[in-house]
Amino acid sequence: MQSLGDWRRTHYSRQVKPDMDSEKVTLMGWIHEIRDLGGIIFLLLRDRDGVTQITAPSKKVSKELIEEIRKLRKESVVAVKGTVQESGKAPGGVEIIPEEIELLNQSQQPLPLDPTEKVRAEIDTRLDSRFLDLRKHSVNSIFKIKSRMLHSVRLFLEEQEFIEINTPKLVASATEGGTELFPITYFEREAFLGQSPQLYKQMMMATSLDKVYEIAPIFRAEEHDTLRHLNEAISIDVEVAFADQEDVMILLEEMVAQAIKDVKENCGEELETIGVELEVPETPFPRLEYAEVVDLVNAKGVNLRYGEDLSRAAEKAIGEVMDGYYFISDWPSEIKPFYVMPRPENPQVSLAFDLMYRDLEISSGAMRVHLHDLLVERIKSKGLNPDSFNRYLAAFQYGMPPHAGWGLGAERFTMCLTGARNIRETVLFPRDRRRLTP
RNA sequence: GCCCUGGUGGUGUAGGGGCUAUCAUGUGGGCCUGUCGAGCCCACGACUCGGGUUCAAAUCCCGGCCAGGGCGCCA
């Protein structure tokens, strides 16, 4: 096996164009395919986002080099120095006549799956050999899109003068109720992996930083086993002081629309690779009240009582009516967490909202309770013990402004951007009920 | 956690009590100077595990493990 030495890549595949005829280039990548026709050998060299044909006719290339090419195996890593040749017969109208080929690392055979996608592999097989799966442009395009989306989200929030924060992922409390937590050993004590930055970002509202965001993993020990749940996911969390639910709904829809526009403008190749035509939604997004949704769902023949959370059947029913992005607001206080503000004039209804895309919930948020005594009352009414929230509650006793915020699931949003039907497609190394490796 | 379905070469599959276990792709070798899902020839490579029924089990039955789908759970 050879080292790089003074070889360096001069171009990526995609940058090699017909108008570069007779230029010398150095490409580095993986052997995608070898077609040996005897007197002429075609090598397809693949790199991060393209494939270039290396053509070795016996008349133009030395015997020694031909022999070396014959030793190459699929998915081996090579560096090729050669001359660009314009050719109507080559894919993309351009090929490279090699002068030197350096084998940087030979690949073993047979491969655990087929990166050329002639034979498809199941998701389980693919995730076991994810490094190889990710060499497929159709697969790595999803992550280029996810990256661009996160970049766009950061740009948007930074422009609005949000401050990026980092809250702890090792937490003491298992008493928040709701979701199951992953217990861990913290020296001589038990601790947990954080399920949400919720309580921390709210405490930030009492610090005068006013507008904060965090993009970080959340951990949930639920034994769910569906195409849209993960046990480790990335949450895009925002909290804003001196704002109400309507303010942060506008922020959310503007951010989502902007991210979609950004991805559409900057990820054209990737979207084409995965066959997705993105539509930038118009703002404001449609807004439905929970009570309307109950009626709509029942009209569709799916039984849903007022006060119940949306069942999967209910989500699907409403998803058939609402095609794109839309909000559901005015949820019953009873099915929303303690920190959600009840409507002052009608406390049975809360100032909470969900952002949906068709039948998929991608975000939920609310105006929060900023009044200490009301918060304690709400904690009690949820059957929780206020004593275990002392450090959180203290932030509400010395000047907590009214505030609102939301959390947006990065993977679920990526599903919307890429059309992925399985959320595992949007995570490099997903963690689900059974999978903990690689 | 519940329900349904499945587990056959490296990958993806056909078969569904007894024949040399099908096909594609792949891998190894050979032929071929314009391939682009290259083509042609030769070879290689598999029945999830444990128990049971049977003269005989990849096939039927029971259980485990694993996977796919649906649901539930998801402050």
Q: What is the mean pLDDT of chain A?
A: 93
Overall average pLDDT of the A332-356 stretch? 94
The spacing between the Cα labelled CA in A118 and the C1' in B23, in angstroms, equals 15
Residue with smallest Cα–C1' gap to B24: A119
Q: Is the pLDDT reported for residue A436 higher than 90?
A: no
Q: Residue A30: which H helix or E strand, with range?
A: strand A24-36
Tokens representing residue A82 in the block: 């050669």
pLDDT level of residue A104 (50, 70, 90 thresholds): very high
Burial zone of A429 (CB within 10 Å; 0-12 exposed, 13-18 middle, 19+ buried): middle
Q: Residue A97: which H helix or E strand, with range?
A: strand A94-105
Distance CA A365, CA A237 (A): 9
Q: Which nucleotide is nearest to A44 (CA to C1')?
A: B36
Look at residue A238 in the predicted model and tell me its pLDDT: 97
The dihedrals phi and psi of A293, each to the nearest 5 degrees, come to -65, -40
- For chain B, which bases have at least one atom within 7 A of a protein Cβ? 1-2, 10-13, 24-28, 31-39, 66-75
Q: Which nucleotide is nearest to A223 (CA to C1')?
A: B73
Look at residue A177 in the predicted model and tell me its pLDDT: 62
Look at residue A198 in the predicted model and tell me its pLDDT: 94
Secondary structure class of A103 (helix, strand, coil): strand
- A361-376, pLDDT tens digit by residue? 999 999 999 999 999 9
Q: Is the pLDDT reported for residue A437 higher than 90?
A: no
Give the rounded percent of residues in chain A with a pLDDT score beyond 90: 82
Residue with smallest Cα–C1' gap to B45: A110
Distance CA A117, CA A131 (A): 15
Tokens representing residue A393 in the block: 């509650």
Alpha helix ranges (H) inside A220-348: 245-266, 268-273, 290-299, 312-321
Contact present, A320 and A284 (Cβ < 8 Å) = no
How far separated are the first and last CA of chain A, in Å rounded? Answer: 26
Are β-strands A232-241 and A211-219 bridged in parallel, bridged antiparallel, or unpaired? antiparallel
- A89-102, pLDDT tens digit by residue? 999 899 999 999 99
The spacing between the Cα labelled CA in A94 and the C1' in B70, in angstroms, equals 49
The spacing between the Cα labelled CA in A127 and the C1' in B5, in angstroms, equals 22
CB atoms closer than 10 angstroms to residue A50: 18
Q: Which nucleotide is nearest to A337 (CA to C1')?
A: B75
Q: Which nucleotide is nearest to A228 (CA to C1')?
A: B74
The spacing between the Cα labelled CA in A108 and the C1' in B44, in angstroms, equals 16
Helix, strand, coil % in chain A, rounded to nearest 5? 35, 25, 40
The spacing between the Cα labelled CA in A33 and the C1' in B42, in angstroms, equals 22
pLDDT level of residue A384 (50, 70, 90 thresholds): confident
**Residue A65 one-letter amino acid:** L
Overall average pLDDT of the A268-288 stretch? 94
The spacing between the Cα labelled CA in A91 and the C1' in B36, in angstroms, equals 7
Overall average pLDDT of the A216-222 stretch? 91
Tokens representing residue A9 in the block: 């890549």
Q: Which residues contact A141 (CB under 8 A, 6 or more apart)?
A: A267, A269, A270, A271, A273, A274, A418
- A239-256, pLDDT tens digit by residue? 999 999 999 999 999 999
Look at residue A176 in the predicted model and tell me its pLDDT: 60
